[in-house]
Every structure is written in C-alpha cells, then in structure tokens.
Structure 1
Amino acid sequence: MWPQPLNSTVQQMGTASSMLTQYDIEEVQEHCNNLFSQQEIVSLYERFCQLDRNAKGFISADEFLSVPEFAMNPLSQRLLKMLDGLNFKDFVAFLSAFSAKTSIHQKIELIFKVYDSDHNGKVSFKDMLEVLKDLSGSFMSDEQREEVLSQVLRDAGYSKDSYLTLDDFIKVLGQSDLKMDVEVPVD
C-alpha cells in the first residue's frame, strides 16, 4: 500500500503520474543525505517535471541546455557529461552539492569530477588547462593560462607533471572559503 501524497500542494502538481508520495519524498531526502526539506523536494520535483518536457522520467542534455543560465555557463559541456539522463533522485543528489548544508568535502568532490573528464581518478595539468580555457575563453592566451596554472600548482607544492587525486584537491581547496550555494525557491 502506497502512502498518501504529502499534501494538497503535491496533488495540485498535475496528473497522478507526476505526483510524489510521502514515501517518495522521504526516499529522495535519504538519497541526498537530508540536505533538502520536504517542501524543497516538492519544488525541485516541479522544476524537474518542467525540464522533462516529454515526461520520460529523466532529463536529456537538450533539456538541460534549455535553461539559459545553464547553457551560458562556460562549463556546461563538461557538466552535461555528468548530467545527461539523470532521473529525479540523481537530479536532487547532484543539486545537493550546491546546498548551503553540504560539506566542503562534498563540494570539492563535484569540482574534482568536473576536472576529471576521463574519470580516471586523476587530474593532470592538461585537464586543469582545459577547464581554465573553458573558464577564461579568449580573455587569456594559452601562454598566460599555462603560466598562471603553473604558478598555482607551484604555490600548492605541485608541478606541471603532477597528477592530482581527490585527496589533493581536498588538501588544496579544503582550506578555501568555497562558495557554491544555491537556494531552492519554495512556493
């Protein structure tokens, strides 16, 4: 027997196929380490349903690119590799990295995944250079990017030949005042 929907807000969301039950909400909360309230999950579900235009149960790369803020992000192509085909639970888990309640360690894990595009557990100088190029565009020359990145690595005790692991990223970024917080609007 399935639990009843959370409240009338959930019932007003649309057809029966788009309703979340109390059980669904709690399951998603558990999946994202309780970083979102029940109201926030309902709001995220409404947004997920708006993005999932064909009601397939997952969001495609094209649907993500329909969000202007996402499409304009210089790292959107890298992020798409991580996001294409996410179901609702995984969508919320991904967004949990941007919660103010998320630990710095979890935020750094997401950053590491953006840099580690080949998913080998290591980030090379070349990987970092590619991200820096995405971020700086034509504002910096290749030589300037290499110089800046080389200096940052030297300052952190690494060289151009170093391969950084997640632990290295945590060591370098863990002391920073990293801000990656996004509020979930709740109606």
Structure 2
Amino acid sequence: MGNTSSMLTQYDIEEVQQHCKDAFTQQEIVSLYQRFCQLDRNNCGFIPSDEFLSIPEFAVNPLSQSLLRMLDGLNFKEFVAFLSAFSPRATLHHKIEFIFKVYDTDCNGKVSFHDVLRALRDLTGPFMSEKQREKL
C-alpha cells in the first residue's frame, strides 16, 4: 500500500476490510487511508507516536500515553485494526478486548494493581494524591 489514496487497490481495501472484521465500509477505509497518509508525514508507511500527538483531540486525552504504547509504528492495516474498536459495527467482545489492552500497561495479560494506579494517575493528574489513589 502506497502513500496516496490512488495507490490503494480494491484488493488492499478488501484485505483491510477483512482484517478489521468488516468494522468499516470500503468507503470508510479509503477515507481512513487518506487520513493515514496525512499523518505519515515522513512517507515511511507507518506512523510514529509523535505524529499522533499532533492531533489535538488525542494529545489532550488523559489515556494518550497508554494509547501511544499501542499505536507506535503502526502501518495502515494495523492502524485500521486499532480504530476498528471505535466503530459502531465492532462487536462488544472486540471493544472489551481493546479496553483491556489500554489498561494492561505492562502487557502481561492482567490488569494489576500497578496498572490501575497508572490509569488513575493519568485520569486524575494533580487532583488526587498518590495515597488517595492507592486507597481508591
């Protein structure tokens, strides 16, 4: 898959659509590809995490650091698979798996006490002390 929407073939679209389990229509995939190309400023075929921070809505998200761990270095197919959890056509199971991955910050397959504390730090910032977080 190239860096312009004209280089996205019908085969590519169908492959991506199948990979994301039909969470997006073919037209939506083309639109996502155009956005991907805008974010891929270096034309290297993947988006480094700092490019995501250039999106204002992403940069202010309190969970952006956890999301960046999942996003760094995604190619287009992986980018669409990541975004598929936000699609209204995604299954509940897919959405739950995605949320679990956001909170499993050490990627050990468990959401530990440490993972929950990290999420609380991200969500509460300076408005809650470490002791209050631990008690919570």
Structure 2 length normalisation: TM-score? 0.91
1:22 aligned onto 2:18: no
Q: Please tell me whether Structure 1 or Structure 2 has the larger radius of gyration of its CA atoms.
A: 1
For residues 161-176 of structure 1, the aligned pairs below 5 Å read none
Out of 3, 20, 36, the residue aligned to residue 32 of structure 1 is: 20
Q: State the AA in 1 paired with 2:107.
A: H
- Please, which of 146, 152, 156 is the counterpart of residue 134 of structure 2? 146
AA aligned opposite 2:89? K
Of residues 58, 80, 99 in structure 2, which corresponds to 1:111?
99
Aligned structure 1 segments of 4 or more residues deviating by more than 6 angstroms: none
For the residues of structure 1 that align with 2:131 and 2:51, how far apart are their CA atoms?
A: 36
Higher helix share: 2
Matched-pair identity in %: 72
Question: 72-81 vs 24-33, which deviates more?
Answer: 72-81
Q: Compute the RMSD of aligned alpha carbons.
A: 1.6
Change (3 A) 1:22 1:121: same
Unaligned runs of 5+ in 2: none
Distance 1:142 1:118 in 2: 20
Equivalent residue for 2:57, pick from 55, 69, 90: 69
CA distance in 2, matches of 1:147, 1:100: 36
Please, what TM-score do these two structures have when normalized by structure 1? Answer: 0.68
2:8 is paired with a residue whose SS is coil
Structure 1, unmatched stretches of 5+, are 1-12, 149-187
Q: Counterpart in 2 of 1:43?
A: 31
Deviation of 1:14 after TM superposition, in Å, equals 4.7
Question: Cα deviation per residue 1:78-110 (whole Å; 9 max; x = unaligned)?
Answer: 111111100000000000000111122211111
Amino acid at match of 2:13: I
State the partner residue of 2:67: 79
1: distance between equivalents of 2:116 and 2:4?
44
**Alignment partner of 2:111: what SS?**
coil
Cα distance in 2 for partners of 1:23, 1:114 equals 31
Relative to structure 1, the CA distance from residue 100 to residue 65 in structure 2 (aligned partners, 3 Å threshold; closer, same or farther) is same
Indicate the residue corresponding to 1:133 in structure 2.
Answer: 121
* Match in the other structure for 2:80: 92
Do residues 53 (structure 1) and 41 (structure 2) align?
A: yes
Alpha-carbon deviations, 1:22-54, whole Å to 9, x = none?
A: 111001000000110011000000000000011
